[in-house]
Structure formats: structure tokens, C-alpha cells
Chains A and B, each alone.
Chain A
């Protein structure tokens, strides 16, 4: 026998199931008004500094079918690369929102402020990015991913640099489709499978 460690093990994850919206986006589920303030509607308020952008996309399964029930949570820095609560962060940027796929088409849409580069602990910078957490029926543990931007300098990003198969980096880059508009499709499985992280 050895001494007992005083650490605990994380509670196991379970799928969010098909009705995740009841708990996370009640208005979407048909429970509008149950809370006075529904959270996660937007990452920023009017007057936030930086460029307002719109990202649209879909989440597809291994058969190419678009999920109608996916919920994506996003977390990002403000235009100067600071997260909400950090010193000097833009008080008009919460940086966090929930995005639900459209129940008919499966398209999702995120209107947000384009984030700035984020400093790493111990030096270096991460290119502008939005962290994603994707849950749905059939996803047993929420999937971590990231959105980077086609029109930013991604070459020195330390996270992207860790992806050995360089063509896979492309799955994390939002494509510019117009002024302030981007496209970002997520593929859960199979050809063009999106990079998911464990970090």
C-alpha cells in the first residue's frame, strides 16, 4: 500500500441529450420568460471596441447530415486580447455566448467582436481565435475546438503549430465571405474532420 493522494477525479461527462436547450436556451426550447434574464444571448454590448463580425456555419455528422440540435458555446477575448474580468478588459465584452443550430436548417450564426491576439503564459502570442465547446445528443463529452480567421497571421500560433498534419489546420480557419463575414463549418467525423482538442 502507499499513501493516499488528496486529489479527486472529475465527475464523468454525459451527453447533453436532445433537450439541452431547455436548460441552456429556454426561449429556443419554447420556455421563453421562465427567467427574467436569459444568459448567453450575445458576447458583447453596443459600444464595444473593435470590429463587429458575423460567423455562420453548420455542424455535420459522419454521414454528411447537418445537426439540427447542436449547441455551441463560444469564449473569446476582446479586441485587445483580454478576457472579461482581466485588468483593462473592455467592460462591454462578456466574450461568452451560446449559439443554437436552426431547428429547420441546422445553420448557426454568431455575431461577435473580432478578438485580438492573446498573450501566452511565459511569452509568445496566440493568433486571434474563438474557443468552442460543442454539445449535442450523441456527443458523450463536449468537444473543444477553435475558430481562427483566414485574414489574420496564424503562422506563429502555438496551438496550430502542434497539429502535425498541416492540411488539418485548415479545418480551424474561418473563411472570409464578405466584409466582416466568415464561414466556419464543423465536421464531427470523417472526411475533413474538424480538429478537436484535449487541453
Chain B
């Protein structure tokens, strides 16, 4: 943990940029969504501060999902990919030193989780989670395998598109965000009720990572670029104005 200082209130969340809590096409949201409106107010120091994580706590393979489960002994099965990008805030400033955690299914679409009983086999060489901390420019990267699509119970015959779950901290607890990265060209995205909880088409497109051949390594891995924007700070020269002025 490192020093936190008062950088000002957070920009209020634009709720139209996010999925509504209630979306009947995603049935679980029907009984897990608050019915009453959220109570909106300006952030306080409790939302403006947040936990910070040092690079020292991370192991050298933590952002390598191909090797981290076997501690480097044997690689995971699947199409090798580099997932990389940059974390910025709404003020278009890079967010350095922020923790990113990801989790995903294996190449067959199966999660290594006590509750996943899908009959695609587990890969003995794949765990399915990774974490890293952004560098001074807000950049991050993970080496992983392309996750498989998988079926889930919702409306008859529902399949999740290939996706990686992404959790980002920022520097304030009020910036906390979990999202999902999809892959360019996947025909299941348009049919997925979870992806389509995001109602603004332009916003949904921002969750779809393009193939980035510029970062691919020949004879080794493809690359996908996934940039992330977190809430910014409200900046004003009049923050300390006197009451009534």
C-alpha cells in the first residue's frame, strides 16, 4: 500500500453507459436487481481512497495463464494469445500501478470451479486466473489461451461468446469495475443476453477486443487489444469556493 492523497471528487457515473440492473433477457438479474433507485450523491473520502497493491506481491508467472497453474512445468492446451491494453480514466490520463485480475474458461469452455459441472474436460495444465499491475503508462498484458464458448441455463439454448472476465481497481474504491472482454468476429456476441445487457451499441463495441497483429508474435501467439476506461476526477479551480459565492 502506498500513499493516497485527495485528488478531488469522482465524476458521477453515467448510468446510461452501463447495463440497467434489471434486464428480463438475463433472467438472474430479474430477482437480483434493486427495485428502488440508487441514492446519488457526491463521492466522499471513503469512495475517493482505495487499496493499492505493490508489484512486490506478485509472482513472475501471475500474468501468464499458459504456465501459472503448473508453475511453468507444462503449457495449457489452446490457441495462444496475448491480451494487452491500457487503463485510462475519463480524464484521458493513464492509470499506472493498478491491479487487474482476469479469469476465464479453458479452451473447451470449462471453468476450474467447484460449481462448474459442464462436461467439457478440465485441462490439467490450466487454472484460469491471472493478475498484473499496470506500468507507468497504464499498460498491462497477459499471456493466455483463447477461452472456449460454453452453454449456460437461461433461455433454452444459450451460449456465452468467448470471453475473459476482467476486474480493475483504479486508485479509488469508487472506480471499482468488473467487466468482460469479447473477441472480434465472434457471432455469439450479438446473441448473448449478458453482453447485450449493455444497451448502447457503441458501448458494447468497446468490450470487443480487436485482433492486433502488430503485437502478435509469429509462430507463437496472436494478440488482442483491450483498453479500459475508469471513472475520472471532477476537476475545477473553484473547489474551495466560499459558501454563497
Contacts and interface: CB of A to CB of B under 8 A. Distances in A.
Interface of A: 6-24, 26, 29-31, 34-37, 39, 61-63, 65, 67, 69, 73, 75-77, 83-87, 94-96, 103, 118-122, 126, 129, 131, 133, 135-144, 146, 158-159, 162-163, 188-190, 193-199
Contacts of A189: 31-35
A22 B111 contact: yes
A22 B35 contact: no
Interface string B114-128: 111000000000011
Contacts of A23: 101-103, 129, 131, 165, 167
Given A133-B173, A140-B23, 9 more contacts: A13-B19, A14-B179, A23-B102, A35-B58, A37-B59, A85-B49, A95-B51, A121-B9, A189-B35
B211 interface: no
B19 A12 contact: yes
Interface of A is mostly: loop
B127 to A, nearest CB: 5
A15 B194 contact: yes
Contacts of A13: 18-19, 177-179
Contacts of B128: 22, 31
Contacts of B137: none
A140 B13 contact: no
Contact of B6 (A16, A65, A121, A196): A121
Given A94-B1, A140-B29, A195 B39 contact: yes
B179 A12 contact: yes
Contacts of B135: none
Contacts, number: 274
Given A14-B178, A198-B13, A86 B4 contact: yes
Contacts of B167: 16, 23-24
B1 A29 contact: no
B113 A21 contact: yes
B29 A120 contact: no
A31 B28 contact: no
Interface string B232-245: 10000000100000
B42 interface: yes
A128 to B, nearest CB: 11
12 contacts: A10-B177, A10-B230, A11-B228, A12-B204, A22-B112, A26-B129, A34-B69, A37-B57, A84-B1, A85-B2, A85-B52, A141-B19
A181 to B, nearest CB: 23
Contacts of A118: 44-46
Contact of A22 (B28, B103, B228): B103
B29 A20 contact: no
A153 to B, nearest CB: 17
Contacts of A94: 1, 51
Contacts of B92: 6-8
B46 A131 contact: yes
Contacts of A159: 41, 44
Contacts of B228: 11
Contact of B51 (A8, A84, A86): A84
A191 to B, nearest CB: 10
B4 A62 contact: no
10 A-B pairs with the lowest CB-CB distances in the bound complex, closest first: A23-B103, A138-B28, A138-B32, A96-B51, A85-B4, A198-B38, A140-B19, A22-B103, A62-B31, A83-B49
